[in-house]
Amino acid sequence: MTAPIPRPGILDIKAYQGGRSKLDGVAHVAKLSSNEGALGASPRARAAYQAVAAELHRYPDGGSEALRAALGRRFGLDPARIVCGAGSDELIGLLTHSYAGPGDEVLYPEYGFAMYPIYARVNGATPVKAPETDLTVNVDALLAAVTDKTRIVFFANPANPTGTMIPASEVKRLRDGLRPDILLVIDSAYSEFVTRNDYSPGAELVDAGENTVMCRTFSKIFGMGALRLGWCYAPASIADVLNRVRAPFNVSAAAQAAGVAALEDTAFFDLCLAHNQMWRPWLTERIEALGLEVTPSFANFLLVHFPKGDVPKAEAALAEQAVLVRAVAGYGLPDALRISVGTEEENRRVVAGLTAYKEGAA
């Protein structure tokens, strides 16, 4: 007798581990482990979500038409080439499923987001890592790692968990150096936090050809991770492929309604951006003043480095302040912690926790 056996590669997958959300016996936890947005969702998005309760029996619009129109207006994009998904995770998965399989390679940077290798393995493809330099995507190293079998290159800009970014000119150099049949996926989950003018989320590269996709999410600056809402901007041929393979009602009515309302609430968006612009440098300076190294971040989190073996002590000191952060050993960074920018009060608790850690270590 034998039990059903999953397809080759599935049992090599290490299931994704999200940021911790609970500390035993502590009520007011500062959950700074998943970059969820310090100020939560727009009040208008919450109201739109609640209004959907009256129509729970209705299937959603399978084409997410109003949401795609709102995205097109807000970001100046062609709505016909926007595809919405249950989080950008779903779109990353569908792109991998559609363009890579057994015998193919999916290439990504050394500290790239954990879902890229997971989806590669889900589809029987081989994940391949290219080295980074100073925790930053290295375009030459990615290009050097391309083989005849490479089908997709994924990278996030800014990157998670490092927080670093590469300028638009480097992204273009990457695209220009890749064979035209290789799909380049620019994961711009944190793009709304970047204010530098040498940066681009990547839409112009999508428009320039048939082989580049930009993924975006409502889980970070829009603070709607619970709803699972992401989107991508793609060439017409790739949008067509995604619309064939996705589930017919992959985005809930609540997510669509809240997404439209969130896009319209530009005042709340501006508040979230201004909050991050103020508190990210504040946290960076305070943590550096404690003698800890912080990787310069362009997102809504910091990667903080500790002396070898000290991470458990730092986590314990933060837990004393009821602060939960993200260990990143799984990314090959055993001596670092990723800390989301929180509310003022949460950020002060981070500094208090790290100060206590430093005093304990001294």
- Binding region for ligand PLP (CB under 6 A): 87-89, 113, 156, 160, 187, 189, 217, 219, 225, 230
Residue 216 CB, nearest distance to ligand PLP (Å)? 8
Query: What is the total residue count of the chain?
Result: 362
In the bound state with ligand PLP, the residue whose beta carbon lies nearer, of 215 and 318, is 215
Q: In what order do the strands lie in the sheet with 336-340?
A: 293-295, 301-305, 336-340, 326-327
Residue 352 CB, nearest distance to ligand PLP (Å)? 27
Residue 118 CB, nearest distance to ligand PLP (Å)? 12
In the bound state with ligand PLP, the residue whose beta carbon lies nearer, of 217 and 250, is 217
CA 186 to CA 90: how far, in whole Å? Answer: 15
Pairing of strands 150-156, 183-187: parallel
In the bound state with ligand PLP, the residue whose beta carbon lies nearer, of 87 and 353, is 87
In the bound state with ligand PLP, the residue whose beta carbon lies nearer, of 92 and 351, is 92
Looking at residue 193, the DSSP 8-state letter turns out to be G
**E strands present in the chain:** 30-31, 82-85, 105-109, 126-130, 150-156, 183-187, 212-217, 230-233, 293-295, 301-305, 323-324, 326-327, 336-340
φ/ψ of 94, rounded to 5, equals -65, -35
In the bound state with ligand PLP, the residue whose beta carbon lies nearer, of 296 and 320, is 296
Residue 189 CB, nearest distance to ligand PLP (Å)? 4
Residue in the structure block whose two tokens are 């999916």: 106
Residue 358 CB, nearest distance to ligand PLP (Å)? 29
* Token pair of 106 as six digits: 């999916």
In the bound state with ligand PLP, the residue whose beta carbon lies nearer, of 33 and 88, is 88
Residue 109 CB, nearest distance to ligand PLP (Å)? 11
- Ramachandran class of 134: left when φ > 0, alpha when ψ lies in -120 to 50, beta otherwise: left
Residue nearest to ligand PLP (CB): 87
